[in-house]
Amino acid sequence: MQEERIAEAVRRILGTLPAGVMLVAAAKGRTVEQVRAAIGAGVAHVGHNYLQDAEAMIPLIPERVTWHMIGHLQTNKVKKAVEIFDMIETVDSLDLAREIDKRAATAGKTMPVLIEINSGEEGQKTGVRPDDAEGLIRAISPLPRVRIQGLMTMGPFEGDPEDSRPYFRLTRSIFGRIAALAVPGVEMRVLSMGMTNSYRVAVEEGATRVRIGTLIFGPRV
């Protein structure tokens, strides 16, 4: 039964993650039943890449979990994202942060965010380039309704997991450097790195949060 396989996968992953490393189940392309099976097995954090799909799914899941925006977010969709997500992991520009700040103020909430690092400096991927991370964080930090809590990076989607190690190591070094600066209003406590193919390497390189979809739910059809 699919739900049993999902539950077994979740328990296996949770059993191998070190203490202090959070599992975020990546729900892109998954059904409500699949996500609920993962939650029933112990998943407390669910990530979604697409705002429209998350908006349809969240009201159908009665269990209380923390919802993470883990896909690229356009500024014209920030209002809804602030309403339905508990954290946005993909902030990569001051304009986006300002819009989150504005919409969060209207909603009467403060939004925790991560700064997305384009650690491979790949043109097809979103994220701030490593050399620009400090400047962006300093620019965002005064916004009263945005709380930077750490960094996120992707790494390669496929291939040898070892190929991801330099990207994760670089992001960890940025994380440590920013933490040492003690920028007011910035908490460097979350390092979100690694997916199904690379999460073990990410954990070895200091990840405190991993985003896993295929290993939990199986290949998307």
Q: What per-residue confidence (pLDDT) applies to 186? A: 97
Q: Is 98 exposed, middle or buried (0-12, 13-18, 19+ CB in 10 A)?
A: middle
**139-168 as b/e, with b when 16 or more CB fall inside 10 Å?**
ebeebebbbbbbbbbbbeeeeebeebbebb
Q: Does 18 score more than 80 pLDDT?
A: yes
Q: Residue 51: what pLDDT?
A: 95
Mean of per-residue pLDDT scores for the chain: 94
68 vs 71: CA distance, rounded Å: 9
CA angle 76, 85, 83 (to 5 degrees): 60
Tell me how far apart the alpha carbons of residues 194 and 119 are, in angstroms, rounded to a whole number. 12
**pLDDT tens-digit readout, 43-52:** 999 999 999 9
What's the whole-number mean pLDDT along residues 155-173?
84
By the 8 A CB rule, do 118 and 129 touch? Answer: yes
At 200-218, the pLDDT tens digits run 999 999 999 999 999 999 8
State the pLDDT at residue 221: 65
pLDDT value at 160 more than 70:
yes
Residue 175 pLDDT exceeds 80: yes
The HSE-up count of residue 195 (CA atoms within 13 Å, CB side) is 18
pLDDT in tens, 90-131: 999 999 999 999 999 999 999 999 999 998 656 667 899 999
pLDDT band at 159 (very low <50, low <70, confident <90, very high): low
Assess contact for 69 and 88: CB atoms under 8 A. yes
SS (H, E, C) 166-196: HHHHHHHHHHHHHHHHCCCCEEEEEEEECCC
Phi-psi region of 52 (alpha: psi -120 to 50; beta: other; left: phi over 0): alpha
Q: What is the Cα–Cα distance from 37 to 44, expressed in whole angstroms? A: 12
Say how far apart CA 171 and CA 194 lie, in whole Å: 11
Contact by Cβ (8 Å): 157, 213:
no
Answer yes or no: pTM beyond 0.75.
yes
- For residue 179, pLDDT beyond 70: yes
pLDDT, one tens digit per residue, over 53-90 is 999 999 999 999 999 999 999 999 999 999 999 999 99
pLDDT at position 126 is 80
To which H or E segment does residue 81 belong?
helix 78-84
User: Quick one: average pLDDT of 189-198?
Assistant: 94
Q: What is the pLDDT of residue 219?
A: 85
Domains and CATH numbers, the chain: 2-217 (3.20.20.10)
